[in-house]
Amino acid sequence: MLAPQKLKYRKPHTGRLKGLSKAGNEVSFGDVGLKAVSANRVTSRQIEAARVAMMRHVRRGAKVWIRIFPDRPVTRKPAETRMGKGKGNVEYYVAVVKPGKIMFEMGGADEALMIEALQRAAAKLPLRTKIVKRLK
């Protein structure tokens, strides 16, 4: 699974998910891409599940680019713990995805096959998506 090697801050604030994606809103590397329509946080496990679903469908027939990286730590306090005594430990990492962000790209295979693979990947993600083609 994906995780950052170093962090500037160990336990950042949660933040908000408002606004649109500032960068990464066009298909740059492949032929088709999976674009976020809603905002959410995508965990490293969900990214890996989507990647595996795509690769199993195309069977080494296409190249895949992952355009998001889980760089935000999420903390959680243990179950049945009283309030106070500081912030919890880091449990997992998430990528903050805003509307308009291209999350995955595929190229080098039949377009119908790649679209089907991206649909399978979208089923693994916790946000609404749409499939977009590269502008020629």
Tens of pLDDT, residue by residue over 22-50, are: 999 999 999 999 999 999 999 999 999 99
Predicted pLDDT at 136 = 72
- When pLDDT is cut at 50, 70 and 90, the band that residue 1 belongs to is confident
Predicted pLDDT at 70 = 95
Partners of residue 129 on adjacent β-strands:
36
pTM of the model: 0.91
Predicted pLDDT at 135 = 82
| Mode of pairing for the β-strands spanning 102-107 and 63-66 | antiparallel
Classify residue 3: in a domain, yes or no. Answer: no
Report how many domains make up the chain.
1
Classify residue 125: in a domain, yes or no. Answer: yes
State pLDDT tens for residues 2-20: 899 999 999 999 999 999 9
In this structure, are residues 72 and 110 in contact, taking their beta carbons and an 8 Å threshold?
A: no
Classify residue 114: in a domain, yes or no. Answer: yes
Classify residue 66: in a domain, yes or no. Answer: yes
**Cα 91 from Cα 70, distance rounded (Å):** 13
DSSP string of 7-54? -S-SS-------S--SS--S--SSSEEEEESS-EEEEHHHHHHHHHHH
For residue 122, what is the domain's CATH number? 3.90.1170.10
Classify residue 74: in a domain, yes or no. Answer: yes
Of 66, 28, 33, 73, nearest to 47 by C-alpha is: 66
Classify residue 108: in a domain, yes or no. Answer: yes
Classify residue 113: in a domain, yes or no. Answer: yes
Predicted pLDDT at 50 = 95
> Average pLDDT, stretch 58-68?
91
Predicted pLDDT at 32 = 95
The secondary structure of the chain in percent helix, strand, coil, rounded to multiples of 5, reads 20, 30, 50
Domain that holds residue 107: 32-78+86-133
Predicted pLDDT at 11 = 94
Predicted pLDDT at 61 = 82
Classify residue 24: in a domain, yes or no. Answer: no
State pLDDT tens for residues 74-85: 999 999 999 999
